[in-house]
Amino acid sequence: MANPSFLFRHRTRLGVVFRYLLGTVLVVALTACSKVTAESSGPSSAAPTLGAASGSPMVQRRTVAVLAGGCFWGMEEILRQIPGVLETQVGYAGGSVSNPSYEDVSSGRSGHAEAVRVVFDENVLGYRQLLADWFFRMHDPTTRNRQGNDVGTQYRSAIFVADETQRQVAESVIRELDRSGKFDAPIVTSIEKAGPFTPAEDYHQDYLQKHPGGYTCHYLREWT
């Protein structure tokens, strides 16, 4: 007959081993469950799509316009503040001399106009809107080769178009404004094919930011 104390000790050891094994199984099961829950509720590993969800960044539709309407200092200061405009740079467009200097252009012999190269986001600002709501309001397009006290072909009103689509939009806007009666005389803005754009000297860039209160003859006209 087995010793009772021996049987008691044996059953005790079996109970300890059983509880240990049961605890290990429960821990493994709970860990696996937690992992599955975390993976199913966590962020997706798929790359986000731009503009797909509210609040996500939208891809910019960068477009370039080159506009002339008198001294480029005042034009740039207005253009740079328009919602949707990303970059502005003043320079020279529409002439026959390569890499003209300010002296070449101001002489009137190079054929260039003082112009502003505008980079804008068409998701925010359309080309038609840029012309109709801003460009034609900031200068007088009815005076040939003149803005305020600035006289010469370098101060002409001009739109330098990059392609046929821009040309058609510019022609359409001019027709509509001529019919609107907003101006007392016909618009004389020239529509010219865009050629090389030569950036102006550094001291001309952001001129009115560097010299607040400096010379300008540009302002936004109030239209009804």
CA-based nearest residue to 67, from 120, 110, 114, 133: 114
Q: Which helix (H) or strand (E) segment is 14 a member of? A: helix 4-41
* Residues recognised as catalytic: 71
DSSP 140: -
- Burial of 9 (C-beta count, 10 Å sphere; 0-12/13-18/19+): exposed
Tokens standing for residue 21: 């094994």
3-state secondary structure 61-76: CEEEEEEEECCHHHHH
Whether the CB-CB separation of 73 and 79 falls below 8 Å is answered with no
Bridge partners of 88, per DSSP, are 118
3-state secondary structure 28-41: HHHHHHHHHHHHHH
Count of alpha carbons within 13 angstroms of residue 191, beta-carbon side: 17
Q: Which helix (H) or strand (E) segment is 166 a member of? A: helix 164-180
Whether the CB-CB separation of 116 and 151 falls below 8 Å is answered with no
Q: How far apart are the first and last CA of the chain?
A: 116
